[in-house]
Amino acid sequence: MAKSPANKKTQTPAKGGRPAGLFTWIAVGVVLVIVVGLVVIKMTSGSPASTASKTFQSVDATTMSQLTSVPASVFNTVGVTSPVAPITAPSPLSGQPALVKTVNAKSLPSIVYVGAEYCPYCAAQRWSTIIALSRFGTFSNLGFTQSGAADVYPNTKTFTFRQSSYTSSYLAFTSIETFTNIPDTATNFYYPLQKLTAAQTALLKKYDTMKYIPSFTSTQENGSIPFIDMGNKFLAAGASFTPATLAGLTQGQIASALSDPTNPVTQAIIASANEQSAAFCSLTNNMPAAVCSSAGVQVAKKALKIK
């Protein structure tokens, strides 16, 4: 996870931070214990982004198709099973006003994502979040990126929402990538990218806290990213699986394996996507039916105790 003290003007890239959860990574018969750390995003503005930080590489058509058109059989076969990289499910939230957004004169349940390009936990989470949301709508103009080279789990391959758009009849999706993955020597952090609105800042400060996130053990973890508010009905803070799962793999390698339900990386990504899909279905009155009645989502609903 990544954290962000709003009152500090400078912050060094996170090297681990306070543990948010314990994951077990098994590879070549060796069991390695991976502690998922926290990074904190800053809410303050910094130096203007450099020319290098503004470069953008669109996702190619092949990778985009593999990412957003995972076969239904893969979702149903995987379910929520991920023995190599255990999954942290979204946390239920009750008694809060519904978070909605008006799109084309229609009020839709709103999904708000806050992350940063340097953040390795965001890098891992985007994979499953993009796949889950693609079952309810269509992304355009996603870009390739990777997490910070000098951070924990360096150069984790992923995507960026910085120029993307999302169209859906069921859900509204808003993304904020707060910082690039380009170090800024003037601030000893990263160049700023997209700024939170006042409403988004209020959302983050209220819900991305120890009060509402069960895994947080101290107020120092408040403001962790990635943070996802799912209609004020479910919350996620931090990666749902360890970024170590993606170590050494390119976007193309990860995406091309998404059709193989026996692949351990695919299992982690799809298990998380099924759990997010189940949360989204609870917002959409189980629409679209083909997704929300699928075997994989039904298993995820039981895991999340969704009726």
Domain residue ranges of the chain, discontinuous segments joined by +: 21-304
pLDDT 10s digits, 36-50: 344 555 544 444 554
Rounded Cα–Cα distance for residues 178 and 53 (Å): 12
How many angstroms from the chain centroid is the CA of residue 21?
A: 16
Nearest C-alpha neighbor of 210 from the set 196, 199, 221: 221
pLDDT value at position 41? 53
pLDDT value at position 55? 81
Q: Show the low-confidence residues of the chain (pLDDT under 50).
A: 4-38, 43-47, 50-52
pLDDT value at position 11? 33
Rounded Cα–Cα distance for residues 114 and 15 (Å): 20
pLDDT 10s digits, 220-237: 999 999 999 999 999 999
pLDDT value at position 285? 97
End-to-end CA distance of the chain: 29
Rounded Cα–Cα distance for residues 212 and 205 (Å): 11
Rounded Cα–Cα distance for residues 122 and 116 (Å): 7
pLDDT 10s digits, 73-125: 999 999 999 999 999 999 999 999 999 999 999 999 999 999 999 999 999 99
Nearest C-alpha neighbor of 304 from the set 269, 265, 264, 277: 277
pLDDT value at position 307? 83
Question: In terms of residues, how long is the chain?
Answer: 307
pLDDT value at position 3? 58
